[in-house]
Amino acid sequence: MDVVISQAFTGASYGAALLLIALGLSLTFGQMGVINMAHGEFLMAGAYSAYLTQKLVTNADFSLVLAIPIAFCVAGLLGLLLEVLVISRMYHRALDTLLVTFGVSLVLQQAAKDLFGAQAKAVEAPGWLDGQIPVLGYRYPLSQMFILVLAIACLAGMAALLKYTGFGRQIRATVQNRDLAETVGVSTRRIDRLTFFIGSGLAGVAGVAVTLITATESTMGSEYIIWAFLVVVAGGIGQIKGAVIAAFGLGIMRAFLTYWTDGSMAVVLTFLIVVAFLQLRPQGLFAVRTRSLA
């Protein structure tokens, strides 16, 4: 029983981080069908923002919180730049965006290495995240709880944005039928840019969270990118509730598989299970209903 509880919590921690990373993707990938391989590098940009913020503020207790909006803006602006300069030229070529953004991710990785050096940077966790609180007999680390809370906050913010604001309605309209949205006066170009800004910004926020888990260095994004895409695909493209279930499902599955087998086999089995699942439900957990043939 202890095992079940501890692995459920550890898995939920993996899942929370995955969800944060995948949230932004579910916007950019779901909204525009842009397969942004540089999403992981936006995460890296967020992590380095946290590092720089900490260097400037020097107070670790405060800098982490301050870093969240900064990382959001830094990564968001990078995303906006990418959208305007590159991706806007290649709508209707969805698969090609994958390759272009892969090139962008290589360039960003090397640029980060030249700017910050190859050696990983140390981002210290704030003192108030030291310690654990007992939940059901499990000592749940405060830093993991922070990531979970941050993920839920971003999720709630995004859900509210999509559901209750005019901008959100426009996004949903564009996802469901781009031409019709255009016809009723939605500027889909503007929606695209804004969505890309927010989606990339969320990757930056994820980057801040990830500094609590792992090393801040130039290739950190590549560890997460395939996981994040799998979450979005398994959840159903453009479906936030699907992404939530998929992220926690994958995280918890990975934790238990790691417990029973080993770290490498857990990766193998998790991926195979997702691939098998997609055979059963090719559209993921939840599908957007459209009338288009393709």
Partner 1 sequence: MKSRARLVAGTAAALSAALVLTGCGSKSDDGGESSAAKGCVDTSGDSVKLGFLNSMSGPMSISESTVSDALNLAAEQINAEGGILGKKIEPVQEDGASEPTVFAEKATKLIQSDCVAAVFGGWTSSSRVAMRPVFKSLNNILFYPVQYEGLEADHNIFYTGATTNQQIIPALDFLKKEKKIESIFLAGSDYVFPRTANKIIKQYAAANDIKVVGEEYQPLDQGAWGTAVDKIVSTKPDVVFNTINGDSNVAFLKAYDEKGLDASSIPIVSVSIAEEEAAAIPVDLTGQMTSWNYYQTVEGETNSAFVKAFKDKFGQDRPTSDPMEAAYTSLWLYKAMVEKAETFDVDDVIDAAGGISFDAPEGKVTINGENHHIAKTALIGEVQKDKLIKTIWSSGEPIEPDPFLKTYDWWDPSKE
Partner 2 sequence: MTDTMTQPIEVSAPPRAPRRSPLRAYLPLVGIAVLAVFLLVIAPAALSSFRLNNLGKYCCYAIAAVGIGLAWGRGGMLVLGQGLFFGIGAYAMGMHLKLEAAGPDAVPDFMMNFGSGVLPAWWEPFRSGPFTILAIVVIPAVVAGVLGLAVFKRRIKGAYFAILSQALTVAFAALLVSQIKYTGGQTGLNSLSTFFGYNLYDPVNKQMIYFIAAGLLVVMLLVTFQLYRSRFGELLVATRDAEERVRFLGYDPANIKVVAFVIAAVMASIGGAMFVPMAGLINPREVSALASIMLIAGVALGGRASLLGPAIGALAVGYGRTSLSESFPDQWTYFLGGLFIVVILFIPNGLTSVIPKAWRALASTQRTRTKVGEAA
What residue type is assigned to position 220 of the chain? M
Helix (H, G, I), strand (E, B), or coil: what is residue 141? strand
- Least separation in angstroms between residue 264's CB and partner 2 is 3
Sorted by sequence, the CB contacts under 8 Å of residue 123 that are 6+ apart come out as 47, 50, 51, 54, 211, 216
List contacts with partner 2 (CB under 8 A): 29, 33, 35, 86, 89-90, 93-96, 98-100, 102-107, 109-110, 113, 226, 229-230, 233, 237, 262-265, 267-268, 271-272, 274-275, 278-279, 282, 293-294
What residue type is assigned to position 155 of the chain? L
In angstroms, the CA 151 to CA 86 distance is: 29
Distance of CA 43 to the CA centre of its chain: 8
Q: Which is nearer to partner 2, 183 or 264 (CB)?
A: 264
Tell whether the torsion through CA atoms of 199, 205, 211 and 213 is positive or negative: negative
Q: Which is nearer to partner 2, 33 or 168 (CB)?
A: 33
Residue located via tokens 């997702």: 274
Q: Which is nearer to partner 1, 135 or 156 (CB)?
A: 135
List contacts with partner 1 (CB under 8 A): 2-3, 6-7, 10, 13-14, 113, 118-125, 129, 131-132, 139, 141-144, 212-215, 217, 219, 222-223, 254-255, 258-259, 262-264, 266-267
Q: Which is nearer to partner 1, 31 or 143 (CB)?
A: 143
Q: Which is nearer to partner 2, 122 or 268 (CB)?
A: 268
- Least separation in angstroms between residue 268's CB and partner 2 is 5
In angstroms, the CA 239 to CA 287 distance is: 7
